[in-house]
Amino acid sequence: MNSITEILDELRIPYSHSGDHRNVREGFVGIDCPWCGHENGKRHLGISIEDGFGTCWQCSYHSLASILHTISGLPYDRIRALLDGLPQTRLRKKQVHRGHLRLPDGHSYINGAHYRYLRGRGFDALKVVGLWHLGGFTLHPQYNWRLFIPIHYRGEVVSWTTRSTGRVESGKYKSATPEQSVIPIKELLYGEDHARHSVVVCEGVTGVWRIGPGAVALFGMAATIQQVKKLSQFSLRVICFDNEPEAQRRADKLAELLAPYPGKTERVCLKSPDPGGATADEVAEIRANWLS
């Protein structure tokens, strides 16, 4: 087999290309997710043609082998034999490796305190933790009880940040330095792997958790050139910054930077102070207007 679509054809798995289905982004083929959307026609599970990873809007990352095994029922050794035929250059040629990922010592699974924090902020904690692969710290000299937030790009963790779960601690976010990252965080969009044709652009990761797949975050209110270039590749970008004057000025600036590129840039300002604290109605409206 020379390509992912040949394998899907061989296994008689229905799929759509970008352009044929609104939920399928360029560079991906879309299939119905066998875990959460079996044969519903929504094509929520995108498989990256270049990199071979799968990402679902509802249930996050899946390996190509587990996707094919789950849908076809074929044993893993048969699936691996099919995948062995895929040229490795096709799967790897765009992989960027500029630095070495160094994860902070002491990060582990989320525990009760982290769940309480997420629930206290009104998140569906289990869903957020599962979709965004969150971890946590316990007692720690630098990252005391923080959430550990891995940052994925093309299915791999390339950097990370942490978020305070207390009220007294200074510095809401403490992030990997460029030296600790494969790609520095300010050259990434949080949530990019899950985005399709349109993106809702937030400042921080909590906005992405609240709005869900299709939202991306800049890790701050100033976009770098690299982030603007990434955003310009989506045909619709909707800027949704915090509801305060400085953030709105930055949102104006970002809209201006995106204006020369093809596609459309829209602005939305919520009644809630920030997208991370958006109400269920606000989220439903955003998703219906821009991400459905």
Query: What is the binding site for Zn ion (CB under 5 A)?
Result: 33, 35-36, 56, 58-59
End-to-end CA distance of the chain: 34
CB of 32 to Zn ion, least distance (A): 9
CA distance linking residue 40 with residue 217, whole number of Å: 29
Nearer to Zn ion, 184 or 213 (CB): 213
Q: Exposed, middle or buried, 195 (CB in 10 Å: 0-12/13-18/19+)?
A: buried
Task: Report the side by side order of strands in the sheet with 173-175.
Answer: 135-136, 147-153, 156-163, 173-175
CB of 191 to Zn ion, least distance (A): 16
Beta bridge partners of 61: 55
- The token duo for 261 is 């590129």
CB of 60 to Zn ion, least distance (A): 8
- The token duo for 166 is 């207390």
CB of 59 to Zn ion, least distance (A): 4
Count, residues in the chain: 292
The 10 Å Cβ neighbour count of residue 145 is 18
Nearer to Zn ion, 13 or 240 (CB): 13
Nearer to Zn ion, 137 or 209 (CB): 209
Nearer to Zn ion, 214 or 276 (CB): 214
CB of 70 to Zn ion, least distance (A): 10
Question: In this structure, what are the phi and psi dihedrals at residue 2, rounded to the nearest 5 degrees?
Answer: -100, -15
Q: Residue 29 in 3-state DSSP?
A: strand
Alpha helices in the chain (DSSP H): 4-10, 64-72, 76-84, 88-92, 112-120, 125-132, 205-211, 225-232, 245-258, 280-290
Nearer to Zn ion, 33 or 223 (CB): 33
Nearer to Zn ion, 34 or 204 (CB): 34
- The residue behind tokens 């982030």 is 227
CB of 291 to Zn ion, least distance (A): 16
CB of 259 to Zn ion, least distance (A): 35
- The token duo for 286 is 């955003």
Nearer to Zn ion, 127 or 174 (CB): 127
Task: Report the side by side order of strands in the sheet with 53-56.
Answer: 16-17, 28-31, 45-48, 53-56, 60-63
CA distance linking residue 261 with residue 135, whole number of Å: 37
Nearer to Zn ion, 36 or 257 (CB): 36
CB of 16 to Zn ion, least distance (A): 16
